[in-house]
Amino acid sequence: MSRRTADVPALVAAARDGQPRAVARLISLVEDASPALREVMATLAPYTGTAHIIGITGSPGVGKSTSTNAVVRAYRARGLRVGVLAVDPSSPFSGGALLGDRVRMQDHALDPEVYIRSMASRGHLGGLSWSTPQALRVLDAAGCQVILVETVGVGQSEVEIAGLADTTIVLLAPGMGDGIQAAKAGILEIGDVFVVNKADRDGAEATVRDLRHMISLGEAGGTGAWRPPVVKTVASVGQGVEDVMAALDQHVDWLTTSGTLRSRRENRATEEIHAIALAAWRSRMEGVGSGQAIAELAAAVVDGTTDPYTAADQLMGALS
Ligand code: GDP
């Protein structure tokens, strides 16, 4: 489907009109790194910047999908249009048919005001930092007032996704990740709101205590600094979700009044520009870096008539 030539203005108009198929098609263009993306992003730009982007991260099985589901329900109860983006940085599958099953969003499958999309980003030049912000921009321009980004998978992606969100929720469960494990994984720094889910299990109180302690050790302090709250939930029955919502509301207020929202978004834009520029450079390098020009330079380095630095300068000179 994405091989067809896209009528970008019509697609963007349809997406802004709230047509889920147009939104899905635009995100497919992102996934496929379509040449039409340049025009898509230029057309979308004036309509972006209103969505509150919330990242949800945590180990597999901790309750991310269940919690996302509960938070979506709470925002829907407020009448907001919600986007959900499930990102799998390790999956080689495009289109996310398998991921689609993984996201337990049946409650919202028939709700036209909830856009749910899975996206695989492996294989893209630039990976997550390249594709996710563009997909977020599509959902933002389509009128989603809140967008939840859920990472499926583990590792570095957790930290990476935090850079993409206005607010990052770090989810833990008793016995799965106590404060010390969290500190080791480097996730204490990225959380704006910590949620200890599965509070119906033993050890929830101890996990909350550990976390509060570890967070306080790392706190910069000072007046006006954000102090990440630790909230307990039993997401499977909706318990504690109102506390999560209150924490999210407070964080939005703080982001806005402190000016952090703006600076986070500027940092994000910087990352995005880097990722796009690097991907462009890399593909151009691959163009000149595999042909006659590099063969001659390599021969000259071996012959000793030039050195690798001068050769690299010459190669880059050929790009500009
Ligand atoms: P994810 O892999 O992080 O997305 O986790 P899921 O949302 O798929 O949840 C993993 C399992 O934990 C599922 O079987 C959920 O029903 C269950 N689960 C989620 N929240 C809770 C909770 O608060 N308490 C208990 N006991 N189970 C939960």
Q: Does residue 17 line the site of ligand 1, with CB under 6 A? A: no
Range scoring the smallest mean pLDDT among 98-112, 115-129, 280-294, 306-320: 98-112
Is the pLDDT assigned to residue 104 strictly greater than 90? no
What pairs with residue 231 in β-bridges?
Answer: 195
Ligand 1 center–CA 161 separation, angstroms = 21
Smallest CA-to-CA distance from 151 within 60, 72, 87 is with: 87
Would you say the CB of residue 175 lies under 6 angstroms from ligand 1? no
The answer on pLDDT for 201 being more than 90 is yes
Angle at 177 between CA 174 and CA 181, to 5 degrees: 145
Q: Which of 124-133, 169-178, 183-192, 298-307 has the lowest mean pLDDT?
A: 124-133
For the segment 33-68, what is each residue's pLDDT rounded down to a tens digit?
A: 888 999 999 999 999 999 999 999 888 888 999 999
pLDDT digits (tens, 9 = 90+) for 23-33: 989 988 988 88
The Å distance, Cα 212 to ligand 1 centre, comes to: 23
Is residue 40 within 8 A of residue 12, CB to CB? The reply is yes
pLDDT of 176 reads: 58
Ligand 1: nearest atom to the Cα of 66: 7
Is 62 touching ligand 1 by the criterion CB < 6 Å? yes
Report percent pLDDT > 90 for the chain.
Answer: 47
Whether the predicted pLDDT of 311 surpasses 90: yes
What residues are paired with 82 via a beta bridge?
114, 146
Tell me what the pLDDT averaged over the chain comes to: 83
pLDDT of amino acid 125: 47
Residue 275: the pLDDT is 80
pLDDT number for residue 72: 95
**pLDDT tier at 95, thresholds 50, 70, 90:** very low
Q: Please report which confidence band the pLDDT of residue 96 belongs to, taking 50, 70 and 90 as the band edges.
A: very low
Q: How far is the CA of 197 from the centre of ligand 1 (A)?
A: 8
Kindly state the average pLDDT of the residues 282-286. 79
Buried b (16+ CB within 10 A) or exposed e, 191-212: bbbbbbbbbeeebbeebbebbb
**How many H helices and E strands in the chain?**
13, 7
- Which of these, 128, 52, 50, 118, lies nearest to 85 by C-alpha position? 118
* Ligand 1 probe mutation, 56, 66, 105, most atoms within 8 A of CB: 66
* Residue 198: HSE in the Cβ half-sphere, 13 Å Cα cutoff: 19
The answer to whether residue 318 scores a pLDDT higher than 90 is no
Cα(63) to centroid(ligand 1), Å: 4
Note the pLDDT tens digit of each residue in 169-192.
Answer: 999 899 755 556 666 667 788 899
Mean pLDDT score, 144-166: 76
- β-pairing, 193-196 with 230-232? parallel
What spacing in Å lies between the alpha carbon of 173 and ligand 1's midpoint?
9
pLDDT, tens digit (0-9, with 9 covering 90-100), for 204-261: 999 899 888 888 887 766 778 899 999 999 999 999 999 999 999 999 999 999 999 9
Give the pLDDT band (50/70/90) at residue 101. very low
Spatial contact of 72 and 108, defined as CB atoms under 8 Å apart? yes
Pick from 10-14, 129-133, 251-255, 309-313: least confident: 129-133
Q: Is the CB of 66 under 6 A from ligand 1?
A: yes
Residue 185: predicted pLDDT: 62
Give residue 62 CA to ligand 1 midpoint distance, Å. 6
| Measured distance between the N- and C-terminal CA atoms of the chain, rounded to whole angstroms | 35
Q: pLDDT tens digits, residue range 2-21?
A: 445 679 999 999 999 988 89
